[in-house]
Amino acid sequence: MAEIRLTDIRRGLGHTNRKDAWWARPLLIFICLTIFLIYVTWAAFQGNHYTFGPYLSPLYSPELFGDSTHSWFGAKPGWWPGQLHWSPALLVLWAPGIFRLTCYYYRGAYYKSFWADPPACTVTEPRKKYLGENSFPLIIQNIHRYFLYLALFFLLFLSYDVWKALWFMPPGATDTDERSFGIGIGTLVLAINVVLLGGYTLGCHSLRHLVGGFMDRLSGAPIRGRAYQCVSCLNRRHMLWAWMSLFWVMFSDIYIRLCSMGVWNDFRIL
């Protein structure tokens, strides 16, 4: 590993003795996260094409208020300010959004990619003073543990969406009681989404601490010990789960959106 020297620090951002392409990884992360943020923001504000048959886009789940059959409490609420653009996703997407934004892995990734602090190991950064996460504003990142609780609820909602994605209305039917069991490609897309989000959420560092990481000895608590092992197992690949679930949640919305627009056909397996 190349050493960072005082002269490099004086030269400012980007100076290093490293000969490898140290900039490739932060650049790739910057591109991927930017594409994701632009797409998800665009999709969340559309307010249409977020359902197809029994499928509901995970970006809009749970649909608390809305016009589709997935809505819990009926149409757009009267208290929604008239000046504000309406989309059902705006009521819910902030919770998984903040959970991901404050994730320990993503923090490390976007600190490097978006504000080069530092850009990579042994590469000089643009600031001389490091305040870290012990002071405002980054101390707010500690809310991650609270958003973990919300994220666990979202996993339940998304699992319920998979169950609903197994029940299709026959052509021409108007009564939701006429639904019959089936499996479409969309069902699989939503099921994979839950598996990947489960792998990501259940491998969370905060959850690892919660289930047993805070204890000195786990040998006297076998159930806790087993839970700690399971979370630790997922936690070892947290970065991989983070990227796979990020990609798949975006793809799930694209799949349902394009089916709803008539661009793609949803094939029924059963």
Q: Please report, as ranges, the residues that interact with ligand FES according to CB under 6 A.
A: 103-105, 144, 204-206, 238
Answer for the pair 68, 56: CB distance below 8 angstroms, yes or no. yes
Which residue, among 197, 204, 190, has the nearest Cα to 253 in the 3D structure? 190
Residue number with CB closer to ligand FES (70 or 208): 208
Nearer to ligand FES, 183 or 239 (CB): 239
Closest C-alpha to 107, from 95, 121, 117? 117
User: Judged by CB, which is closer to ligand FES: 48, or 142?
Assistant: 142
| Least gap, CB of 60 to ligand FES (angstroms) | 21
Q: How far is the CB of 105 from ligand FES (least distance, A)?
A: 5
Cβ-proximal residues to 199 (8 Å cutoff; 6+ apart), any chain: 234, 237, 241, 244, 245
CB of 233 vs ligand FES, minimal distance in Å: 15
- Helices marked H in 116-237: 144-164, 185-201, 205-208, 222-235
- The residue among 109 and 256 lying less far from ligand FES, judged by its C-beta, is 109
Least Cβ distance, residue 241 to ligand FES (angstroms): 9
What are the phi and psi torsion angles at 167 (to 5°)? -125, 110
